[in-house]
Structure 1
Amino acid sequence: MSHAPRGDAANTVSTPMRGPGPCPSQKLSGGSGRPPTAVVTGASSGIGAAVAHRLSAEGWRLVLNGRDTARLRDVAVRTRASHFPADLNVPGIEQRLTRFALDQSGSVDLLVAGAGVGWAGDFVNMPPSALTEVIETDLLATLRLVQQVVPHMVEQGRGRIVLIGSVAGVVGVRGEAVYSAAKAAVNTFGDALRYELRGTGVGLSHVVPGVVDTPFFERRGAAYPRSRPRPVPPERVADAVWTAVSRGKDEIYVPGWLRLPARVHGAAPAVFRRLASVFG
């Protein structure tokens, strides 16, 4: 059921209305007149590819990362981007990617951390190699890359980090225990880092998708089993990323109604667990 996003779909979405004052691109480029630069990971397909198309349509300069060299090159051609094919789990690769981006454009104004993998099934049956891959890719690789990029943003006095999370990291999802744990850690990491960055000119956004129609489910080893909620197209998440960047939002759920179960989980966890045992 999953499919990679079409290359032309993200270019058809409408641009949010802008009020008076500098546009987001001008603010993030420091008013230099040059296009700001975004690094997007996981850009070879799915959410990352949709984000690349959306940012390209908004006039951004892009440096794209992904593990699938052929697909990444195709996205890069369509978005007029530089590309750095690599597995972010390789030791030291986050330093090489950051240096590549700085060499290409002189600055990194936005990082969209979208690389991620999943695994479906009971935790007790999860192979140790899969457990390690999920934690390494979804959590540690993201933290290592953010740690490389943030000092450059702080030094230039501007920038934004966008972490692509998951509703699984907010409420926990049966059959995805380790993925839920990794995304929960990303969520809490984002909150803590946001406090550290206050006053530096660098912002941090957490975009929280639910079920998205991408190759993710095929790659995790199990198709999405439910008829509802229906998967949303990855362009919806790309829209949310753009809203986070253009309006400086700390957190956005996709679709928006997912904020309700998240609030119930936080305010009345016992009630949420009873409901989840029936409906989840």
Structure 2
Amino acid sequence: MATRETTSTSPDLSSPLMSPSHTPSGPVVFITGCTDGGIGHALAREFASRGCEVIATSRSLQSMKGLEGEARVSVKALDVRSLESIRETVESVIKDFGRIDVLVNNAGVHLVAPLIEAPMDSFHMVFDTNVYGPMRLIQAVVPHMIERREGKIINVGSITALAPGPWAGVYSASKSALHALSDTLRLELRSFGISVTTVAPGAIKSNLGNSSIERYNKIADWKYYKGFDSALRARTDISQGPKSIAADVFAKKTVASVLKRNPPPWFSYGPFSTIFGILYYLPLFIRDHFYRRVMKC
């Protein structure tokens, strides 16, 4: 029998909590990247507060300790870079809950580095997590949605993909790719009753800055860009400034939007959303001038 990680003061993660015949009373929502302090964590709590049955995932159960004790939330270890891990987890969820109504591809990694000096293994890691990871989940979950001819896919991209600037090119490129895939999937899956929404967060307070600076410190041995170190470091947490909004505020707005009967194809919320929308339409020479002044490049 499949096991389900539960939440209690002293959880016994090896014991079954729910029989395969269990019928969820609300939508079953599968979310990746639910590490404490992140957007996924806030989304999990908000979906649960609205009566959804939430499966919160992350590479480590320990990283989701903050979800212990949350009603209607189950936690499962999942590595989006592992096809085997995805297959096992999806099969377990289908066996326990019978279906997945909403798939939220939120897991992602940030990377700050000048493109010509960014290690190629870092390129692979970012795209494997931010692009291939969501597609692995989609290919694993969609067949079940097609059988039921309904479902929702939510891909969490980034507002920076609208107008990529300096210092985070690998990250922006990965999110641009995810946006493009979402646009195609929205059209290809429509006839099966499956909707696809791209969520593009603005400046949201999360653990993104801390993980980004840790990753930066591991690779920051520049040959050509030593003189730009302060500008590069500033880019690691640019979304975590005083104007950033709390993740739970973003989660409330996002969940309210995607749970609509007909969710929008695009949803963006948070500081910088408007300015990036404007930059998207501006001539490139104006955008470049803006970035040279702001990003010190």
The TM-score normalised by the length of structure 1 is 0.81
Amino acid at match of 1:268: P
2:259 counterpart (246, 252, 257): 246
Which runs of 5 or more residues in structure 2 are unaligned?
1-22, 214-232
3-state secondary structure, aligned to 1:198: helix
Deviation at 1:157, TM superposition (A): 1.6
The corresponding residue for 1:187 is 179
Residue in structure 2 matched with residue 40 of structure 1 by the alignment:
31
Partner of 2:127: 135
Give yes or no for contact 1:50–1:234 (8 Å, CA) kept in 2. Answer: yes
Who is 1:268 aligned against?
A: 283
Match of 2:220 in 1: none
| Residue 162 of structure 1: how far off its partner (Å) | 0.7
Asked whether the equivalents of residues 44 and 75 of structure 1 are also in contact (C-alpha less than 8 Å), the reply is no
What is the correspondence of 1:1-280 to structure 2 with a 5 Å cutoff?
34-45=25-36, 46-221=38-213, 222=233, 223-225=236-238, 230-247=243-260, 248-255=263-270, 258-266=273-281, 268-280=283-295
Cα deviations by residue, 1:35-69 (Å, 9 ceiling, x for unpaired): 11000000122000000000010010011110232
Structure 2 counterpart of 1:25: none
Q: Which amino acid aligns with 1:265?
A: Y
Shift of 1:155: 1.5
Whether the 8 Å contact between 1:50 and 1:235 is mirrored in structure 2 is yes
Structure 1 residue 227: Cα displacement: 8.4
Change (3 A) 1:119 1:174: same
Paired with 2:206 and 2:185, the residues of 1 have a C-alpha distance of 29
Question: CA contact under 8 A between 1:122 and 1:175: conserved in structure 2?
Answer: yes
Q: Distance in 2 between matches of 1:64 and 1:257?
A: 28
Give the aligned residue type for 1:38. V
CA apart distance, 1:34: 2.6
Identical-pair percentage: 22
Q: Secondary structure at the match of 1:205?
A: strand
Q: Which amino acid aligns with 2:92?
A: F
Distance 2:129 2:165 in 1: 19
- Inter-partner Cα distance in structure 1 for 2:180 and 2:130: 13
Tell me the distance in 1 between the aligned counterparts of 2:163 and 2:276: 8
DSSP-derived class of the 2:267 partner: strand
**Distance in 2 between the 1:134 and 1:226 partners?**
18
Residues 126 and 246 of structure 1: CA distance in aligned 2, closer, same or farther (over 3 Å): same
8 Å Cα contact 1:37/1:60 also seen in 2: yes
Please state whether the residue corresponding to 2:195 is helix, strand or coil: strand
With structure 2 as the length reference, what TM-score do the two structures score? 0.77
Q: Label 1:57 to 1:263 Cα distance change in 2 as closer, same or farther (>3 A).
A: same
Q: What code does the residue aligned with 1:158 have?
A: E
CA drift at 1:109: 0.2
Structure 1 residue runs of 4 or more that deviate by more than 3 Å after TM superposition: 225-229, 266-270
Q: How far does the alpha carbon of each residue in 1:189-246 deviate from its partner, in whole angstroms, 9 at most, with x for none?
A: 0001101122322111111012221111111125525886722211233123213322
Q: Alpha carbon RMSD of aligned pairs, Å?
A: 2.2
**1:227/1:68 CA distance change after superposition, 3 Å:** closer
Tell whether the 8 Å contact from 1:244 to 1:250 is kept in structure 2 after alignment. no
Residues paired across the two proteins, number: 249
Relative contact order, higher structure (CA 8 A, sep 6+): 1
CA distance in 1, matches of 2:243, 2:181: 29
- Gapped runs of 5+ residues in structure 1? 1-31
